[in-house]
Chains A and B, each alone.
Chain A
Amino acid sequence: MLLLPPAELLRFALGAVTGHRLRSALSVLGVGIGVAAVVLLTSLGEGTRQYIVAQFSQFGTNLLAINPGKVKTMGVPGVFGGTTHLLTPQDAEALRRLPGVEAVIPVAMGQGRVEFGGRGRSVYIYGVNHELPRAWGVGTAQGSFLPPLDAGRRASLAVLGPKLAREIFGTDSPLGQRIRIGSESLVVIGVMEPKGQLLGFDLDDTAYIPVGTAMGLFNLAELQEIDLLASTSEGIPALADQIKATLMARHRGEEDFTLTTQTEMLEVFGRVIGIVTLAVTAIAAISLVVGAMGILTVLWISVHERTAEIGLLRALGVDGPTVQALFFLEAVLLAVGGGVGGLAFGVLVQAVLRMIVPGLPLATPPEAVGAALLMTLAVGAAAGVLPARKAASLDPIEALRAE
């Protein structure tokens, strides 16, 4: 039966914990490192997720992508089912007629060397159409983008990314100049605004040419992708069904393509990163278990060392349950101390990391912080049970004899 107010017991336990400064500090450190690791790793995971979401949504969330081939969970593609139908610029044009479609961009890309005068640079070359600026939300800094062309028609025109233009033309205007890409000679009609990188692809270090030209240049029989911009995000599910129906009608009833919406893509990414974060955090949580062992050991030693104190308390009429509560509380105090310390350390390390590596994606999810602190409470409680029981079960007479 606890006679004294819990606050007084807490004060007494705190005194006992701080009485052994070094030993308590070391066991607190064990838990602290665990908590700091959990906080840092979840922050990194959450930061990465937010970074990727931001990267994707810079193109708007109304984008849909169609890729050739059906992603299936089973079966061998192409063995049964006869011919596969190619995804063509004509397919893209057919989709343009659907209601709710804002823009359609057939995409055929490849790597090629862009040459002018004595200079050249190997870059990604996108075969697209005139609607790309609207769908991706980019404009031209100089000149204009590709003009509207009939599906699959070639035209000897090119628009350069700002970095590519700078690398090849320096400070001169590239407008009206003829560049060579492979066997093609193309007139530069525009330079894009800077857009930055998407997951490591430098969108500024590219050239845009008409999709028909690109297919000829890279000897492609079909498109790699059709990008669609829906006019409203609410209409996307219905639009997706219509797209499927239209393409299947054109492909003799076969669904030999894959339609991905932006939201789906984000969900998949979010899930993958979530799993990775969870796995890494679980590994970090192992260090919390190690920290718990540290507390257990320290308290076990403490019970041995303070046998005389326990004996005295019993002689003073303090009952077993109170002694048990006391040692249990000490374990929880050590763990919570570690939790708070680790949290502070984790936040500090993040601040330092941000200063050293400004671009590092870090975001501390509040629920992870809460979970880590709850976990330390659990760790302390788990580590405290055995020593506290031992302390309470000591024979007062034997305990008094110890000194």
Chain B
Amino acid sequence: MIELQGVWRTYPVGEGVVHALRDVSLAIAPGEHVALIGPSGSGKSTLLHILGCLDRPSQGRYCLEGRDVGTLSEAERSLLRRTRIGFVFQFFHLLPRLTAQGNVELPMLFAGVPREARRTRAAEVLASVGLLPRAAHRPDQLSGGERQRVAIARAVVMNPAMVLADEPTGNLDRASAQEVMGVLEAMNRQGLTLVVVTHDPILAARAKRVVHLSDGMLADAPAGEG
């Protein structure tokens, strides 16, 4: 489903260039749970942005469900992000003025889903992360773990092909982190492709496959037999 072939990402910095990704080739099958680990500055965020169609390779090919993302227009990549990709961020990125329900409805709102359908679907997804009773609460009335579960609900509400989670537990205590990873893994078991970026080896160890990044280069090492 995801195929990276010889992907480079370079940034001009002053006179020279910085190589954020060097010749990365990676294939992720549907339903996989992949952990992307590496020290900061290793290029994992850049790789995540490319996977999430927020960024494009400077060189090489990125195919998502058979489409070469590098050749798509901004509008087409927006469409992909809207329909095929869900994001979960370290800092949740919930809109403080909206309720949990409102935040979950957000992707559907901007996709033009009618109000009633939004209501129903958001309630359904909130129920699946165990937060239906908190639907009318605003983020500042929720705990960190609850906020991240709202964010997960928002990420999956459009039925994406994959969820990209950038340090999803980086801002949570251990108990909340367990809870959040539990929700993500449960969704993965139901067939959702999950890519988790982290520098936490314990979190990475929960994935069926761990991809090591260092200096923008890949060191693919399977963790466990899957």
**B45-92 at interface with A (beta carbon < 8 Å):** 49, 52, 54-55, 74-75, 78-83, 85, 87, 89, 91
Alpha-carbon distance between A169 and B97 when the two chains are bound, in angstroms? 78
Nearest CB of chain A from residue B16's CB, rounded to whole Å: 21
Across-interface contacts of A19 in B (CB, < 8 A): 96-97
Whole-angstrom distance from the CB of A84 to the nearest CB of chain B? 81
- Chain B residues closer than 8 Å to A312, beta-carbon distance: 89, 93, 95
A15 touching B97 by the CB < 8 A rule? Answer: yes
Mask, A382-403, CB within 8 Å of B = 1, is 0000000000000011001001
A317 to B110, CA, bound (A): 8
Interface size of B in residues (CB-CB distance below 8 Å): 29
- Near A by CB (< 8 A), chain B positions 148-196 give 154
Q: Which residues of A contact B14 (CB under 8 A)?
A: none
Residues of A within 8 A of B54 (CB): 314-315, 396-397, 400
Whether B78 contacts A319 by the Cβ 8 Å rule is yes
A400 to B96, CA, bound (A): 16
Closest to A320 in B: B74
Count A-B pairs with CB separation below 8 Å: 69
Instruction: Say yes or no for A309: interface residue by CB 8 A criterion.
Output: yes
Which residue of A is nearest B87, CB measured? A315
Q: Which of B74, B87, B98 makes the CB contact (< 8 A) with A15?
A: B98
Q: Does A16 contact B (CB under 8 A)?
A: yes
* Nearest CB in chain B: distance from A248 CB, A: 80
Among A311, A312, A322, A403, max chain B CB count under 10 A is at A312
- A3 with B52, Cβ < 8 A, contacts A316-B82, A317-B107 known: no
Which A residues, 303 to 360, have Cβ-Cβ distances below 8 Å to chain B?
A: 308-309, 311-320, 322
- Complex Cα distance, B107 from A184, in Å, reads 97
A82 within 8 A of B: no
A4 at the interface (CB under 8 A from B): yes
List residues of chain B with CB within 8 A of the CB of A15.
Answer: 97-98
Q: Could you tell me the distance in whole angstroms from the C-beta of A88 to the nearest C-beta in chain B?
A: 84
- Shortest C-beta distance, A183 to chain B (Å), equals 88
In the complex with contacts A396-B54, A397-B49, A400-B89, A316-B110 CB distance below 8 A: yes
Contact across chains for B93 and A400 when beta carbons are under 8 A apart = yes
- Complex contacts, A319 vs chain B, CB 8 Å: 74-75, 78
A15-B103 Cα distance, complex, nearest whole Å: 13
- A238 interface residue, CB < 8 Å from B? no
Q: How far is the CB of A15 from chain B (nearest CB, A)?
A: 6
Report the bound CA distance from A8 to B108 in whole Å: 11
B111: interface (CB < 8 Å):
yes
Q: Is the CB of A3 within 8 A of B110?
A: yes
Report the nearest B residue to A319, measured CB to CB: B78
Cβ–Cβ < 8 Å partners of A12 in chain B:
109
> A317, B79: Cβ atoms under 8 Å?
yes
Q: Is A5 an interface residue (CB 8 A)?
A: yes
Q: Which residues of B contact A309 (CB under 8 A)?
A: 93, 95
Residues of A with C-beta under 8 A to B112: 3-5
What residue in chain A is nearest B115 (Cβ atoms)? A8
User: Does B123 lie at the interface of the complex (its beta carbon under 8 Å from any beta carbon of A)?
Assistant: no
User: Which B residues are in CB contact (< 8 Å) with A316?
Assistant: 81-82, 87, 106-107, 110, 154
Residues from chain A with Cβ under 8 Å of B83 in the complex: 317
A397 to B95, CA, bound (A): 18
* Central interface residue in B83, B87, B110, B111, by most chain A CB within 10 Å: B110
Q: Are B80 and A315 in contact (CB under 8 A)?
A: no
Task: Tell whether A1 is near chain B: CB-to-CB under 8 Å.
Answer: yes
* Chain A to chain B contacts (Cβ below 8 Å), 22 pairs: A1-B75, A3-B110, A3-B111, A4-B109, A4-B111, A8-B115, A15-B98, A19-B96, A308-B93, A315-B87, A315-B93, A316-B81, A316-B87, A316-B107, A316-B154, A317-B78, A317-B82, A317-B83, A318-B78, A322-B110, A396-B54, A403-B91
9 A-B pairs with least C-beta separation: A317-B82, A19-B97, A317-B81, A3-B112, A312-B93, A319-B78, A403-B91, A318-B110, A4-B112
B: which residues have CB within 8 A of A?
49, 52, 54-55, 74-75, 78-83, 85, 87, 89, 91, 93, 95-98, 106-107, 109-112, 115, 154
A: residues with CB less than 8 A from B are: 1, 3-5, 8, 12, 15-16, 19, 308-309, 311-320, 322, 396-397, 400, 403
